[in-house]
Amino acid sequence: MEARTLSGRARIATIIAVWVTVALDFAIAGIAYALLPDKIPNLWTINGAVNELVDKNITVFILPIAAFVSQCALAVLPHIDPNKGNYARFEKSYMTLRAFISGMILTLVIMHMIRLKFYEYGISYSIFKLVIALYIVLIGNLLPKIKRNYFIGLTNPWSVASEKVWFLTHRFGGRYFIGIGAMLAILSFFEPIAVNIVYWCLIVTLFAVPTVYSFEKYYVRIKKKNNDREV
């Protein structure tokens, strides 16, 4: 059986690795800032073409700041969640998720700085979309292992209200994330605008569809309980 908790050494190693990654985000952005031209892209069209240039500014650090804020939040959430006792039941998956998030943002920082520096060469937008797709698949593998809580996973009023609905939602959600992630990985290699619209619409469904699923499962269970009582 897979261990759900980490040893003290593994936990500390993961936390150190996560924060080293965050520090690398800022270091890479800082080095890139010094090397970037005076004008950098600010807006892109849906198919990745540069739509607007602006003076170089601190928006270069948006992704590193997002990494810092997200890791601070992920460090605090287990201590303030009303279901905080459940975090020990999926600690290994939770720390893996933290590592996935930090790794994804580091990858995006590197690619984003390359695109800002060499935007004149029309570097393909596909690699960004492929990385996002692969991380969606990885998260899909983790979802079924996440136990009921108020912040992490496919949280909504119906999944949080019922242990069974939480289990069903995350089992379904894990499979859905993996399937959609695989589709997105394929779509990431195609540049037409219509394909890009489909790509981003599929990402929206990653949360919309499991939410509808939770709603349906919750009220099916409520209806079944009421019917059982009538009998």
> Is 150 buried (19+), middle (13-18) or exposed (0-12) by CB count in 10 A?
middle
Q: Which alpha helices (H) appear in 56-152, and where do they start and end?
A: 62-80, 91-117, 126-142
CA distances from 88 to 7, 147, 221 (A): 12, 9, 28
Confidence of residue 230 (pLDDT cuts 50, 70, 90): very low
CA distances from 89 to 2, 41, 65, 78, 223 (A): 11, 45, 30, 12, 30
Question: Per the structure block, which two tokens stand in for 45?
Answer: 């069209």
Q: How many CB atoms lie within 10 A of CB 226?
A: 9
What's the one-letter identity of residue 226?
Answer: N
List phi, psi (to 5°) of 119.
Answer: -60, -25
Please, which residues have CB within 8 angstroms of residue 83's CB and are 6 or more apart in sequence?
147, 148, 149, 150
Confidence of residue 228 (pLDDT cuts 50, 70, 90): low
Confidence of residue 169 (pLDDT cuts 50, 70, 90): very high
Collapsed DSSP state (helix, strand, coil) of residue 164: helix
Query: What sign does the CA torsion over 152, 147, 22, 182 have?
Result: negative
Confidence of residue 127 (pLDDT cuts 50, 70, 90): confident
Strand partners, 52: 43
DSSP 63-77: HHHHHHHHHHHHHHH
Please write the tens of the pLDDT for every residue from 196-206: 889 999 999 99
Please write the tens of the pLDDT for every residue from 143-168: 999 999 999 999 999 999 999 999 99
